[in-house]
Amino acid sequence: MTDIPAEMATKAQLVSGHALTLPTLRVLQADGSLYPEAELPQIDKALALKIYRSCAFTRVLDERMLAAQRQGRISFYMTCTGEEAAVIGAAAALAQEDMIMAQYREQAALHFRGFTTTQFMNQMFSNELDLGKGRQMPVHYGSRALNYMTISSPLGTQIPQAAGYAYGQKLQGKDNLTLCFFGEGAASEGDFHAGLNLAAVHQCPTIFFCRNNGYAISTPANEQFAGDGIAPRGVGYGIQTIRVDGNDMLAVLAATQLARQVALEQQCPVLIEAMSYRLGAHSSSDDPTGYRSKEEEVKWRQHDPVARYKLWLQAQGWWSDEEDQQLIAQYKEEVLAAVKVAEKVAMPPLSSLVTDVYDEVPKHLAEQLEQVKSQVRQYPDYYKATAGKEQQ
Ligand SMILES: Cc1ncc(C[n+]2csc(CCOP(=O)(O)OP(=O)(O)O)c2C)c(N)n1
């Protein structure tokens, strides 16, 4: 039971949601120097360069895979472009044993954890070496070894799952937590509210990390909610909350390091809202010229999170233009070579379509598999990738 709070009013007065406007944490200025009085997160040269390598890799991967989609080599792709600081800054504050439950645009976090170029390619080409056995659309990565839960397409499902997973970590007495990425659009799902309330009431060590990138496909954030973004909702649920400049790598790292410390020490959830911008299209199926202006994109390109972070690295004397060119050339070569290999690897056998859910394949699935196989036998030219394997 809740007592009536002691604080009282004798005049009827409404409180506006905007009474609670949260400030935005910033550390790095546009020229790569720190804001006066800003504090550095815990970062040394090795971590700083590891973070940058994931930025560079993700830029190359995104550019090449979008091209591969345009060439008809893969069916679909989603870029992280513009949100690298939000994603990598968050991942870099975690321990490797912390669980990450992502939405789909967070491939940079997976690279930071050690997912190899070959593993990325096997997933995107849905070949028989894919960890997900070729059953998911491109970009629905997952890795048990790297504590990265496989992506689910329906928006928001990972949010209550993250609360539940973190509750399990708490019950097991683990010194680990779960970080859950989601977009501001996904925060309109009922699952967002269920997940945050569950985590708050049961004090689950979950970091809810909202990438507020301004759009949910063509829906701008100002048509998504009427309040001051996502952050005040955390306060409403009784969750400690911080808003951060999502294009500022050092600020995201600082916010997430603090969130991790609080979540583990106090065994409670924390909400982070990272303010950013999706520089690319929503996906390879989207054309943003229909719903936003070129001027707006140009403005945000001036806040490129990777460029800002690189300036800081260079100011430390930790990175040079020559090293940069070399690294990007190396990644381009690596990605291209991996594409050429992965696209030649065989598809998984058709029979694998009906395994892994039931101990024994039920009759109706066995029948459906036979129907698929007979279709492939009848039209081998349309099913070249699997035609040779239909008997498996
Ligand atoms: C339950 C559900 N509704 C709708 C969709 C279609 N859909 C896929 S992504 C997306 C936009 C999500 O926007 P946001 O959460 O802001 O993330 P962003 O793509 O901007 O990173 C929508 C509507 C879906 N996948 N699942």
pLDDT at 19: 67
In the chain, where the domains are located: 24-342, 350-387
**What pTM did the predictor assign?**
0.95
Quick one: CA torsion of 338, 134, 166, 244, rounded to 10 degrees? 50
Which atom, in ligand 1's list, is nearest to the CA of 157? 1
Which atom, in ligand 1's list, is nearest to the CA of 224? 16
Residues whose CB falls within 8 Å of the CB of residue 365, separated by 6 or more in sequence, listed in order: 354, 358
Please determine, for residue 321, whether its predicted confidence score (pLDDT) is greater than 90: yes
Question: What average pLDDT does this structure show over 35-43?
Answer: 96
Residue 186 Cβ < 6 Å to ligand 1: yes
Ligand 1 centre to CA of 52 (Å) is: 28
Query: pLDDT tens digit string along 95-126?
Result: 999 999 999 999 999 999 999 999 999 999 99
Please determine, for residue 392, whether its predicted confidence score (pLDDT) is greater than 60: no
Phi, psi of 355 (to 5 degrees): -100, 170
Sign of CA dihedral 52, 55, 57, 60: negative
Confidence bin at 5 (pLDDT 50/70/90): confident
DSSP classification of residue 284: T
Distance CA 336, CA 182 (A): 30
Residue 155 Cβ < 6 Å to ligand 1: yes
pLDDT at 383: 82
Atom 20 of ligand 1 has which residue's CA nearest to it? 216
* CATH superfamily membership of 24-342: Thiamin diphosphate (ThDP)-binding fold, Pyr/PP domains (3.40.50.970)
